[in-house]
């Protein structure tokens, strides 16, 4: 049964068996639930997603498309971008399963337009999932792996979306399974199983166990270790147990596949006990019964009949084995889309059986059919390969166009950014020019105001300084005047005192030389002189307080105190003889002094000092 196992493995790897059947109680319950009026929008989306999935994987693509249209209509009405993307992803997967690869590309283009308008990661993750699924079906495993790895790490950080996580890990499992990399396929199958458990979707969980079983079978075929086989059988039993415990949550199709895988793996057990063989037989009969109500499940039923024929051959019941194989052949021929791989395996086994029974004509006939089926399978594979290559070529051309368009858009974007930058730069320049002008204007006005204020302050300070200088000058002049007045008073008093001293001295000499002097007359004359002198003194001080100052200003040389004394006597109207008598000197000395004073004042010999003094003092 190695050929059958290989077929089942290929069946899972390509993602053809992924889910559910619509003709069971579970699907009927979903339809009843969807028809309720008080159903929430989120529940409607959930039910539609399940119905689409079940219909699509049952090859009921028309029914699946109807549910997809309902979901698209509801998503557009509710403006739910994520559910709209999910609907188009389901449609793309349906097209891919029917090998309508060009239509899948259209779905991808539609989804891309939707997700380009969004910054949400989840819709983009669904788009990339469909792209990777499409690349996987085209046989471009490198691109499929690269696309998946590009977003799965970020997807794993999302708290929900367990279905998408499980399916994404399934793609990586499928790639490594096709490449016979059992270690990596087991790793990703286990991740897919973990996500299925977190989703609490029993049907998805059964499928994930089936995928893990296929990955483990790859390992067993390499190691031939009984422990690996036991682990493989244990995995398959878990899928069967979940299906049996949840008949209304797991489709009959997945239940039948779980039973078929378990039975097939149990055939590898060495020294099979009677109980094991009975279990295999019971499971195969249950598979056949289940497939009676499952559309497009002839290959599963034929697989169970093939296992029963193997059991019959092992106990040398060749005619019973012939019955099972002929029934399987008949079942496969009723399938709408002929499965030439299964027909080739079935007719080859019939040819071997008839050859063993030495019925060579029948063996030849079935061998001939096997050859025809091999040719048909080759042609089908070639046609599918051609279709895949064409789709791959179109996809690559689309990628090139997109890259060119992206490059062009980037160029335009850069150009727009450049123009925008230049515009912003220009506006910024204008703004800064305006701000600079405004700032300069404000600065100029402020500076002008500051200068005016400083000028006004300087003027005030200058005015205050002038006033202060004037005050100081006035005080200085007052002090000078007071000092000059004191000098004048001292000089006058000195003159008066000298006069008194001279009078007393003269009086003393007269008394000494002449005892007949009349003292009363001398005193009376002196009192008169004192009165005249005081009057003159008062007149000089009151009328001409700057007398001595004026004299000093008009003299070309500095006047001595004695010069000032002579000037005072002259100004008081005393003649040469009086001054000589007053100072007790010779008249000649008085005349010499007068001559010297004229020179100091710049007067000629004929000009009179008395007249000059009265002119400058007037």
Confidence check: pLDDT of 124 > 80? yes
Contact 101, 95 (CB under 8 A): yes
CA 337, chain centre distance (Å) = 55
Q: Is residue 327 pLDDT above 70, yes or no?
A: yes
Residue range 191-198: average pLDDT? 95
pLDDT of 399 reads 64
| For range 292-301, the mean pLDDT | 88
Confidence of residue 500 (pLDDT cuts 50, 70, 90): low
Domain boundary among the residues 311, 330, 358 is at: 358
Residues 420 and 441 both lie in one domain: yes
Does 33 fall in a domain? no
Q: What is the pLDDT of residue 392?
A: 67
- Return the closest-CA partner of residue 324 out of 349, 290, 360: 349
Identify whether 499 is part of a domain.
Answer: yes
Given a cut of 90, is residue 310 above it in pLDDT?
Answer: yes
315 lies in a domain? yes
Residue 345 within any structural domain of the chain: yes
Indicate whether 346 and 407 sit together in one domain. no
If asked whether residues 426 and 554 sit together in one domain, one would say no
List the one residue out of 346, 364, 343, 347 whose CA is nearest residue 355. Answer: 364
pLDDT tens column, 75-104: 999 999 999 999 999 999 999 988 898 999
- Tell me what pLDDT residue 334 has: 92
Domain membership flag for residue 435: yes
Which carries the bigger pLDDT value, residue 404 or residue 159? 159
Integer Cα distance of 561 and 606 in angstroms: 25
pLDDT-based confidence at residue 401 (cuts at 50, 70, 90): low
- Last residue of some domain: 358, 392, 424? 358
What pLDDT does residue 50 have?
86
* pLDDT greater than 60 at residue 486: no
- Pick the last residue of a domain from 309, 342, 358: 358
- Judged against a pLDDT cut of 80, whether residue 156 lies above it is answered with yes
Q: What is the pLDDT of residue 409?
A: 62
Q: What is the mean pLDDT of residues 290-307?
A: 91
Question: Mean pLDDT lowest for which of 93-107, 338-352, 458-472?
Answer: 458-472
Of 93, 102, 89, 92, nearest to 395 (Cα)?
A: 102
Confidence of residue 14 (pLDDT cuts 50, 70, 90): very low
Does residue 341 fall inside a structural domain? yes
Residues 6+ apart with CB under 8 A from 165: 152, 155, 156, 158, 191, 192, 195
Q: Per residue in 419-429, pLDDT tens? A: 777 777 777 77
Q: Rounded mean pLDDT of 210-215?
A: 94
Q: Are residues 287 and 374 in the same domain?
A: no
467 CB neighbour count, 10 Å cutoff = 10
> Would you give the end-to-end CA distance of the chain in angstroms?
158
Q: What is the Cα–Cα distance from 517 to 510, expressed in whole angstroms? A: 7
Q: Are residues 551 and 569 in the same domain?
A: yes
Name the domain count of the chain.
3
pLDDT for 386 equals 78
pLDDT of residue 606: 86
**pLDDT value of position 545:** 64
Read off the CATH number of the domain in which 585 is found: 1.10.10.10
**Do 483 and 368 share a domain, yes or no?**
yes
pLDDT above 90: percentage of residues in the chain: 45
- pLDDT for position 7: 35
- Residue 8 has what pLDDT? 34
* Residue 500, in any domain of the structure: yes
Question: Which two tokens mark 192?
Answer: 């897919």
pLDDT-derived band at 10 (thresholds 50, 70, 90) equals: very low
Total Cβ atoms within 10 A of residue 44: 18
| Helices vs strands, H then E, count in the chain | 24, 0
**What DSSP string describes 340-376?**
HHHHHHHHHHHHHHHHHTT-HHHHHHHHHHHHHHHHH
Query: Are 347 and 370 in a shared domain?
Result: no
Report whether pLDDT(306) > 70.
Answer: yes
Would you say residue 18 lies in a domain?
Answer: no
- Distances 505 to 201, 502, 577 between C-alpha atoms, Å: 155, 5, 18
Mean pLDDT comparison of 26-35, 333-342, 402-411, highest-scoring range: 333-342
Q: What is the reported pLDDT for 126?
A: 95
Identify the CATH number of the domain in which residue 260 sits.
1.25.40.10
Q: What's the average model confidence in pLDDT over 311-318?
A: 92
Q: Are residues 324 and 387 in the same domain?
A: no
Q: Which of 179, 176, 180 is nearest to 192 (CA)?
A: 176
- The residue-averaged pLDDT of 536-554 equals 67
At 359 the pLDDT is 93
Please compute the mean of the pLDDT values over residues 388-417 and round it to a whole number: 68
* 354 lies in the same domain as 411: no
Hey, what are 137's tokens?
Answer: 């079906």
Residue with tokens 């020294």: 271
What is the average pLDDT across 503-515? 67
Instruction: Taking residues 123-129, report their average pLDDT.
Output: 95
Q: 483: pLDDT confidence band, cut at 50, 70 and 90? A: low
**How many angstroms separate the CA atoms of 297 and 333, rounded?**
12
Check: CB of residue 344 under 8 Å from CB of residue 372: no
pLDDT for the residue numbered 242: 95
> Highest mean pLDDT: which of 36-45, 231-240, 405-414, 472-481?
231-240
Predicted confidence band at 22 (pLDDT cuts at 50, 70, 90)?
Answer: very low
Quote the domain boundaries for residue 420: 360-515
Question: Closest Cα partner for 260 from 274, 248, 243?
Answer: 243
CB atoms within 10 A of CB 554: 17
Q: Give 538: exposed, middle or buried? Use CB within 10 Å, 0-12, 13-18, 19+.
A: exposed
Q: What is the mean pLDDT of residues 302-306?
A: 95
- For residues 384 and 511, state if they share a domain: yes
CA distance 134 to 148: 11
Q: Mean pLDDT in the chain?
A: 82
CA pair distance 364, 165, nearest whole angstrom: 50
| pLDDT tens figures, 564-599 | 888 888 888 888 888 888 777 899 999 999 989 888
Task: Report the distance separating Cα 442 and Cα 445, nearest Å.
Answer: 5
H/E run at residue 21: none
User: For the segment 222-279, what is each residue's pLDDT rounded down to a tens digit?
Assistant: 999 999 999 999 999 999 999 999 988 888 889 999 999 999 999 999 888 999 999 9
Determine which of 140-144, 254-258, 383-387, 483-487 has the lowest per-residue pLDDT on average. Answer: 483-487
Specify whether 502 is located in the same domain as 582.
no
| Same domain assignment for residues 354 and 365 | no
């Amino acid at each position: 049964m190695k050929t059958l196992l290989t077929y089942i493995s290929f069946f899972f790897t390509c993602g053809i068996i992924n889910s559910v059947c619509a003709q069971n109680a579970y699907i009927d319950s979903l339809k009843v639930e969807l028809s309720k009026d008080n159903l929430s929008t989120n529940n409607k989306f959930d039910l539609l997603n399940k119905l689409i999935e079940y219909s699509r994987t049952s090859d009921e693509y028309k029914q699946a498309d109807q549910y997809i249209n309902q979901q698209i209509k509801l998503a557009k009405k509710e403006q739910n971008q994520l559910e709209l993307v999910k609907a188009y992803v389901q449609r793309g997967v349906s097209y891919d399963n029917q090998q309508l690869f060009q239509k899948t590309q259209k779905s991808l283009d539609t989804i891309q337009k939707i997700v380009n308008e969004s910054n949400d990661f989840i819709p983009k993750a669904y788009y990339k999932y469909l792209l990777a699924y499409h690349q996987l079906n085209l046989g471009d495993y490198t691109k499929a792996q690269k696309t998946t790895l590009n977003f799965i790490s970020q997807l794993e950080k999302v708290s929900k979306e367990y279905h998408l996580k499980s399916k994404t890990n399934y793609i990586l499992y499928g790639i490594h399974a096709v490449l016979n990399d059992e270690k990596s396929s087991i790793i990703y199958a286990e991740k897919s199983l973990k996500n299925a458990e977190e989703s609490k979707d029993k049907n998805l969980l059964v499928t994930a166990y089936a995928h893990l079983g296929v990955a483990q079978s790859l390992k067993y075929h390499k190691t031939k270790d009984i422990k690996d086989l036991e682990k493989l059988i244990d995995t398959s039993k878990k899928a069967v147990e979940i299906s049996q415990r949840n008949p209304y949550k797991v489709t009959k199709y997945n239940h039948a596949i779980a039973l078929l895988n378990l039975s097939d793996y149990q055939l590898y057990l060495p020294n099979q006990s009677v109980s094991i063989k009975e279990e295999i037989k019971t499971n195969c009969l249950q598979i056949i019964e289940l497939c009676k109500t499952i559309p497009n499940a002839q290959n599963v039923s034929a697989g169970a009949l093939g296992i029963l024929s193997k059991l019959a051959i092992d106990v040398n019941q060749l005619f019973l084995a012939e019955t099972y194989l002929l029934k399987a052949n008949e079942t496969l021929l009723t399938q709408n889309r002929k499965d030439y791989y299964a027909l080739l395996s079935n007719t080859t086994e019939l040819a071997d059986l008839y050859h063993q029974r030495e019925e060579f004509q029948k063996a030849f006939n079935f061998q001939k059919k096997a050859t025809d089926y091999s040719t048909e399978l080759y042609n089908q594979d070639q046609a599918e390969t051609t279709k895949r290559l064409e789709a791959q070529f179109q996809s690559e051309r689309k990628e090139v166009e997109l890259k060119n368009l992206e490059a062009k858009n980037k160029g335009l974007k850069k150009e727009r950014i450049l123009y925008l930058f230049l515009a912003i730069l220009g506006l910024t320049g204008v703004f800064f020019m305006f701000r600079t002008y405004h700032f300069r204007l404000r600065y100029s006005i402020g500076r002008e105001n500051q200068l005016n204020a400083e000028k006004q302050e300087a003027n005030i300070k200058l005015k205050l300084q002038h006033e202060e200088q004037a005050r100081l000058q006035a005080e200085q002049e007052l002090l000078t005047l007071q000092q000059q007045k004191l000098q004048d008073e001292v000089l006058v008093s000195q003159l008066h005192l000298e006069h008194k001293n001279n009078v007393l001295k003269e009086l003393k000499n007269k008394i000494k030389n002449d005892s007949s002097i009349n003292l009363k007359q001398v005193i009376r004359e002196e009192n008169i002189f004192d009165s005249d002198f005081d009057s003159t003194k008062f007149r000089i001080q009151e009328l001409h307080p700057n007398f001595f100052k004026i004299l000093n200003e008009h003299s070309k040389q500095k006047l001595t105190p004695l010069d000032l004394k002579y000037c005072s006597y002259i100004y008081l109207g005393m003649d040469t003889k009086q001054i000589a008598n007053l100072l007790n000197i010779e008249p000649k000395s008085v005349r010499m002094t007068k001559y010297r004073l004229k020179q100091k004042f710049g007067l000629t010999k004929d000009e009179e000092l008395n007249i000059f003094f009265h002119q400058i003092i007037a």
